[in-house]
Amino acid sequence: MPSQYTVGVDEVTVDDPFWSPWIERNREVTIEYQYEQLEESGTLENFRRAIEGKSGGFQGMWFQDSDAYKWLEAASYELAKADDPDLRERVDEVIDLVARAQEDSGYLNTYFQLVEPDNRWTNLNIMHELYCAGHLIEAAVAHHEATGETALLDVAVAFADHIDDTFGDEVDGVPGHEGIELALVRLYRVTDEERYLDLAQYFVDLRGHDDRLQWELEHSAAIGGASWDDGALIPAEGGGSLLLDDEGEYVGAYAQAQAPVREQEAVEGHSVRAMYLYAGVADLLAERDDAELRAALDRLWANMTEKRMYVTGGIGSAHRHEGFTEDYDLPNESAYAETCAAVGSVFWTQRLFELDPDPAYADLVERTLYNGFLAGVGMDGEEFFYVNPLASDGDHHRSGWFTCACCPPNAARLFASLGQYCYSTAGGELYVTQYVGSHLSTAVDGTAVELDQESALPWDGEVTLDIEADGTVPVSLRIPEWAADATVTVDGEEVDHDGSGFVRLERDWGGERVELTLEQTAEFVAAHPAVEADAGRLAVERGPLVYCAEAVDNERPLHHYAVDETGEVEASHDAGRLDGVTVLDVDATVPDPDGWDGELYRPVDETERENTDLELVPYYAWDNRDPGAMAVWYRRA
C-alpha cells in the first residue's frame, strides 16, 4: 500500500526570510559542529572498538549510538537538497563505521557488543536497544531516499530482519523507549516488506500487555551505575526516573505501558517516548485501518492539547521523569518541556493531519515550530536547550552538548526536513499547511504541480503563491487560528471562505497568483482556571509567536510589572535586535518606590503604582543576549 506521505524533502526547497537563516546555520554550522561532538563524546570511537572486536571501553550513555544515527538522518536530508562533497565524505565515513560494526547476525548495538554481550534483549525497558535500532532505520531510509544508495539501508534491513526473527519467537516484549514502531513503518514503505509492518503492529499491540517491563525493573542490577532513589530508578548519567505507584509497584505509565494503547485515556509518562509511540501508531493507521487505535489517538491528542500542553506547544511539565503529570499541572519556572518532546509532537501531529486534514493539527505544528521547538536552539547554531522553561531567574542557559545528547541532533534533523511540514497531499488534495517561503514540485493524484510561495511570516501576514498544474487540482489553504481576519484573492479577485480553517480552491492552474492577507494583532491570552501557575496572569501572542519579557529589555525587575489588558500594544520591527524581530510594547504598571525606605510592609491604600511599558520579544529568541530573568506569563493589572 503506498504511503500517504507524498511530499518529501527532495520536493520542497525552502527559501524563506525567517527560516532560511536557521536552516543555513543548521547546514553550515550545526551539522559540522555535531559531527565534531560525535568524535569528542566517543560515539564514533564506540563503533571503532566494536569493529576491532574489543571489549569494554564504551563511552557515553548506553544509547549513544542513536546520536550518530540522528546525525546521519539530518545530514542525509541535506544531501537530498544539494550534493556537498565534504558532507558526503563525512556521511560515508560514519556509514562505513556503522556497517563494519554490525555482526553477521545483523545485531548492532555498541554498548552490548562492548560491555554486556551476554545480556542482549534482556532489559528492553531500560537499555534502549530497540530505540537505537529505530533511529538507525530512520537514518537509513532518509539516506536511501536522498542518495538512492543502499549501504546504510542494507544495514538497517539486516538488523530489522534480526529483530523480526528474535521477537515473538525467542523474545516477547516491547521497548521501554519507543521509536522502533514508526521506523519499521518507514522501512516497510521503502522495501514493501509486509513483515516490517507486522512487526510494528506487534510492538503496538503488545504494549500494556507485557509483564516483562515489571520483571526487568525488579531484577535489574545497577544498569550503567543506575540507582534506586525515593521510589524511582535514576540513571547515573541523568535521564528520567521511572513512575511507580504509592506502593512502589511499577505501573508502566513512564513508558506508556499502563494500559493497552487502545484503552489509554491520557498522555502519561516520559513525553518523548509518548510522542514517538503515538507517531508510530499514526503511521500504522495510515497503512491499516483500526477504529479503536484511531479513537485512542483522538482521545490522547485532545487530552494533551486541552489539559497538558504549554502555550508554547511545549509538553512535559516534570523534571523527575521528563514528562507529563496530571491535568492542568503546568508550572512555568520548573517546566521541563524538553526540546525532543516538541520535535516528537511535530512528528505525531503532522501524521495526524495526514490521516485527517484538520486545520487544528496544522495550527499546533505551527505553534510548536515557532515556539516550543525553536527556543531549543541558540542563534549561533552551536548551543541548545534540553529544557525549555516559561520563566527563569536568569540562571538557565543553552549548552553546546549534553551527556544525554538527544536534543541537538533531533533539532538538526527537524531543521533539515522542514519542507516536509509545509505541504501535504493527503486525500488527493494539495494542502498548504505552513506559510514558509518555498518551491514545491509534486504530484496530486498523478497530476504534476509546481508551486512557489513567498511569505512574510512571522512578522507580517502577507503570503503569495504562484501555482501551475497539468490539470485540475484542489488546493486548500490553511487560515491560521490566530488570524483576526483573512483575505484571499486569485489574480486579484477575492474568494469567499467559510471559517472552516481552510480555503479550498479547485481549478486548472496555469500560473495564477494567490494572495493571502492574514491580519496579525497582538492578543492577550489567559489559561484555564485550573492552571494554578497562571492564575491571575496573562500571556501575549502575535501571529504564530508567543512573546516573553527579558530583563535585558526592561528597567525594573520583571516581577514588578502588571500588564494592563485594556491598554494598547505597539508592535515595531527592530532589524538590529536578535537577527531582526518584531518587538511589542504593552501598557503596564509598576510599584511607586517612594515611601518604602525603612519599611517592609505598608497599608495598601498608602501605596501607588506608576504607568510604564513592558517590552516583549519572541519567546524563541530568549537567552541569546546578556543573562537575566525571563517570563512568559505576567500579572494582570
List the catalytic residues. Answer: 322, 406
Q: What is the DSSP pairing of strand 423-424 with strand 430-432?
A: antiparallel
Q: What is the DSSP pairing of strand 447-455 with strand 391-392?
A: unpaired
The helix/strand/coil state of 615 is strand
Contact status, residue 253 vs residue 241, Cβ threshold 8 Å: no
- How many whole angstroms separate alpha carbon 66 and alpha carbon 175? 15
H runs (alpha helix) in 41-150? 43-51, 65-81, 85-101, 110-114, 124-127, 129-147
The helix/strand/coil state of 138 is helix
Q: What is the DSSP pairing of strand 462-478 with strand 430-432?
A: parallel
With the C-alpha atoms ordered 529, 531, 537, 538, is the resulting torsion angle positive or negative? negative
Distances (CA, A) of 463 to 68, 276, 541: 38, 33, 20
The helix/strand/coil state of 365 is helix
- How many whole angstroms separate alpha carbon 374 and alpha carbon 619? 9
- How many whole angstroms separate alpha carbon 228 and alpha carbon 434? 45
Burial of 499 (0-12, 13-18, 19+ CB in 10 A): exposed
- Comparing CA positions, the residue from 557, 473, 544 lying closest to residue 514 is 473
Number of neighbouring beta carbons within 10 Å of residue 491: 9
Give the residue carrying C-alpha cell 525497558. Answer: 125
Instruction: Give 550's strand partners.
Output: 630
Number of neighbouring beta carbons within 10 Å of residue 229: 9
- Neighbour-count burial for 401-426, b at 16+ CB within 10 Å, e otherwise: bbebbbbbbbbbbbbbbbbbbbbbbb
Question: In this structure, what DSSP letter does residue 242 have?
Answer: P
What residues contact residue 265 under an 8 Å CB cut-off, 6+ apart? 259, 299, 300, 303
- How many whole angstroms separate alpha carbon 536 and alpha carbon 553? 24
Count of H-run helices and E-run strands, the chain:
17, 21
- How many whole angstroms separate alpha carbon 324 and alpha carbon 343? 16
- How many whole angstroms separate alpha carbon 113 and alpha carbon 159? 14
Which cell numbers in the block locate residue 339? 526540546
